[in-house]
Structure 1
Amino acid sequence: MTRIITMLLLIFTFSVSCKKEVPKKISLQEDISFLANDSLLGRETGTPQELMAASYIQQRMENIGLLPKGNAGTYFQTFTFKPKTDPHSEAQFVSGDGTITGTNVIGYIDNNTDKTVIIGAHYDHLGMGGEGSLYAEGEAIHNGADDNASGVGIMLQLAQRLQDTLTGSNYLFIGFSGEEMGLLGSNYFCKNPTIDFDSANYMINMDMVGRLREDKTLSITGTGTAPVWNQVLNSTNAHFKLVLGESGMGPSDHTSFYLQDIPALHFFTGQHEDYHKPSDDSEKLNYEGMKMIEDYIVDVIAELDDAAKLSFRTTKNESEEVPRFKVGLGVMPDYLFDGKGMRIDGVTEDRPAAVAGLQKGDIVIQLGDSTVVDMMSYMRALSAFEEGGTAKVVVDRDGKQVEAKVTF
């Protein structure tokens, strides 16, 4: 694989300088391995390395045969913004001193229909770390193979497959910049669309789709944004254990489209211990699982190919119901767990859970005096504690109840 990546890098560099084309047929694994290569230094928004990734995606789109749908007849839509200092404020799309330029990459299949399917994935990541990184040992390249070279890789394979097939819709493919800084690229596109938004039928977003587990659990949120989603997703499903969520709001780029009254789905295979760390590398991905997700999305699109335009529906904003809390256990929850309790998917060293002896795979069933039956009840229980306080925690460990004491 190292040899393949070296060859791709050489081909890419040569093609940029000499205007030669990269090969049209590039595999999912090759796309992801290129984007998650150390040479791109983590693809941080606004860096030369992110622009290299953008140029690679642009060439892939061009060679597949997608039409440019950025600005001024190009595949690029650039936006300039001032980084947020207040996490609760909106980004300012302005130019001048202290600003950063991001680049969306946009390609189009025009089937001369009155409805357009939008398929997107962000390609930026955390660069050498900094804000958002969960790595505590200084600067290091955060390659972001799962987050989100995986989504971009599937997007490019879908573009290749949908060219000249399933002609009931037009297709717009977008590689978003600035997602890690607050959904900036999708936000900017939705405020400055390069197509007539009246034609937008629905949006499919893929973010962290590279770690499908053995039980084939696949999370799809946004199912409440159109009345037809549940029926379509279940009728076309042949392989997955689906975990469906209704809300159109969430921490990825589908949210920007939902806020423009466009039905939107978000595909996700779950968090893991390499999330936002330098260890999120391409050799850890489940490529067979990604191919299954690609096939499933094609089946969903095919099911709707001849259907009328979807009706949009607003959903409950689940994030508004999340309790606020001042302390944490120092664990990564398993967001795909659908049993009773809160399953721990990772434990951070030297934090309360680790000190108390909690382990990955433990299922928290009681915290303090509160019974924990799901993620929301876990967060409600956690919100009752202050820093310096203590609590009894009971976990299910391999079918046995284990009690521990945590100090926040």
Structure 2
Amino acid sequence: MKFIKLTVFLLIVTACHNNKPVQKTIKEDVIYLSNDSLEGRQTGSKGELKAAKYIAQRFEDLGLQPKGTNGFFQEFSFKPKTNPHQKVNYTVKNGDSTITGTNVVGFIDNQAENTVIIGAHYDHLGYGAEGSLYRGETKQIHNGADDNASGVGVLLNLAQKLKDSNKSNNYLFITFSGEEMGLLGSNYYAKNPTVSNDKANYMINMDMVGRLKADSTLAVYGVGTSPIFKQTLKAHNNKFKLVQNESGVGPSDHTSFYNVDVPVLHFFTGQHEDYHKPSDDFDKLNYNGMRTISNYIFDVITDLNDNGKLPFRKTKNESEETPRFKVGLGVIPDYLFDGKGMRIDGISEDKPAQKAGLEKGDIVVKLGDSSVTDMMSYMKVLSTFNKGDKTKVVVDRNGEKVEKEIQF
């Protein structure tokens, strides 16, 4: 009898243990997703599908319900655009040029009226697809640890936190394919939702959240898409230097949801010299920073838990005001810099800035005869130059004004 009781007890303990979500750290998820074996997760590749299966298994282990069109998966087929201005044709016949991407969709059903969407793209550039900034002669894997294994890692961490909390909303977790090719996966989902867009409360997007800097600057875009966002972000911020942007339109997947009238927030820790290069590897990420970002987003979600359905508000499309230019300095701007001028966060090889002797950390304050006060003024003056033009550039270098000659 004692043996039977012990056996029953062990079965109960085992069953309880099996019902617990499988715990993994953000770092463990990032290391897997940015491993060479996934070959850069290019849309439609075997490596991307392997990543999709890993994410689906993580969703299942965390106790999420499948909410794709085929279990956790939502496939979409398309032909790559030959003209950047043409619309993507998702309805195509099978053929050599057809690519199939796979969104991975998991659901926490709290029997609530509305659903919060939490997203991050998991595709990247494979061995150096269009968009790569690598200029080496040998083909190399672009692992995309920050872009965007970091966002997926934080998404999975949030799924773990939200599994048994904040029950006033349902939660839909989507990892998107095709982002690097033009927000294709999120665009497809927004037009073919598995949970009605009318029931979408708001959408949180995380794209490149792995490089929080020493000054803890965190960019949050879309803060104008619902009136409550600014005060909520402020109320829970005691860690970050927030750089906020009102627009719901930007170069990441939140745009697809803003376009169907869903309030959006997009979190971003900034570009860097490894952006879209093979050197974007897991060992360069700030994992403490990612955990802090995850906790912050969780606090924001918790605050919004009992606010019902958030009102949506249209914002100015700042991308429409961005000037077009025919030349560039060959620098990576620091988009999170909020001082006077345009701070350089990276220098490209064999480009005008490097040839002129500009350095990472320089702040461009004058280009030609025009003062540079921020990113927009920098782009406006840059748009006035043509290939072959020569001009002067003045930078603030550690408090000293340095003048160089630039040839575009």
Q: Output the TM-score relative to the length of structure 1.
A: 0.94
Q: What does residue range 5-404 of structure 1 map to in structure 2 within 5 Å?
A: 24-72=22-70, 74-95=71-92, 96-97=94-95, 98-138=97-137, 139-404=139-404
Q: Structure 2 unaligned segments of length 5 or more: list them.
A: 1-17
**Which residue identity is paired with 1:65?**
G
Give the deviation of 1:24 after TM superposition: 1.2
The aligned residue for residue 13 of structure 2 is: none
The aligned residue for residue 17 of structure 1 is: none
SS at match of 2:283: helix
CA separation in 1, counterparts of 2:196 and 2:111? Answer: 13
What is the total number of aligned residue pairs between the two structures?
388
**Which residue identity is paired with 1:342?**
M
Give the deviation of 1:316 after TM superposition: 0.5
Contact 1:224 1:246 (8 Å CA) reproduced:
yes
Give the deviation of 1:384 after TM superposition: 1.0
CA separation in 1, counterparts of 2:246 and 2:387? Answer: 34
Give the deviation of 1:22 after TM superposition: 13
CA separation in 2, counterparts of 1:391 and 1:323? Answer: 19
The aligned residue for residue 10 of structure 2 is: none
CA separation in 1, counterparts of 2:297 and 2:216? Answer: 15
CA separation in 2, counterparts of 1:351 and 1:88? Answer: 28
SS at match of 2:290: helix
Q: Deviations over 1:340-382 (max 9, x none)?
A: 0000001111111111100000000000000000000001111
Q: Deviations over 1:155-182 (max 9, x none)?
A: 0010011001111100000010000000
Give the deviation of 1:21 after TM superposition: 12
Contact 2:21 2:63 (8 Å CA) reproduced:
no
Contact 1:22 1:59 (8 Å CA) reproduced:
no
Q: Deviations over 1:57-82 (max 9, x none)?
A: 0000001000000014x000000000
Give the deviation of 1:130 after TM superposition: 2.5
Flag the 1:341–1:40 CA change in 2: closer, same or farther, 3 A.
Answer: same
Give the deviation of 1:87 after TM superposition: 1.1
**Which residue identity is paired with 1:110?**
D
SS at match of 1:329: coil
Contact 2:331 2:348 (8 Å CA) reproduced:
yes
CA separation in 1, counterparts of 2:351 and 2:253? Answer: 31
SS at match of 2:81: coil
Q: CA RMSD in A?
A: 1.3
Give the deviation of 1:302 after TM superposition: 0.5
**Which residue identity is paired with 1:249?**
V
**Which residue identity is paired with 1:51?**
L
Larger Rg: 2
**Which residue identity is paired with 1:334?**
D
Identity %: 64
The aligned residue for residue 5 of structure 2 is: none
Contact 1:28 1:157 (8 Å CA) reproduced:
yes
**Which residue identity is paired with 1:107?**
G
Q: Structure 1 unaligned segments of length 5 or more: list them.
A: 1-19
Contact 1:356 1:406 (8 Å CA) reproduced:
yes
Give the deviation of 1:238 after TM superposition: 1.2
CA separation in 2, counterparts of 1:328 and 1:68? Answer: 46
**Which residue identity is paired with 1:109?**
I
Give the deviation of 1:211 after TM superposition: 0.1
CA separation in 2, counterparts of 1:46 and 1:175? Answer: 14
Flag the 1:167–1:43 CA change in 2: closer, same or farther, 3 A.
Answer: same
Contact 1:22 1:60 (8 Å CA) reproduced:
no
Contact 2:21 2:62 (8 Å CA) reproduced:
no
Contact 2:39 2:127 (8 Å CA) reproduced:
yes
Give the deviation of 1:94 after TM superposition: 2.2
Q: Output the TM-score relative to the length of structure 2.
A: 0.94
Flag the 1:178–1:315 CA change in 2: closer, same or farther, 3 A.
Answer: same
**Which residue identity is paired with 1:333?**
P
Contact 1:121 1:174 (8 Å CA) reproduced:
yes
SS at match of 1:30: helix
SS at match of 1:344: strand
Contact 1:21 1:59 (8 Å CA) reproduced:
no
CA separation in 1, counterparts of 2:124 and 2:350? Answer: 27
CA separation in 2, counterparts of 1:132 and 1:325? Answer: 18
Runs of 4+ more than 2 Å apart: 20-23
**Which residue identity is paired with 1:47?**
S
CA separation in 1, counterparts of 2:129 and 2:115? Answer: 37
Q: Deviations over 1:166-201 (max 9, x none)?
A: 111000000100000000000000000001221100
**Which residue identity is paired with 1:251?**
P
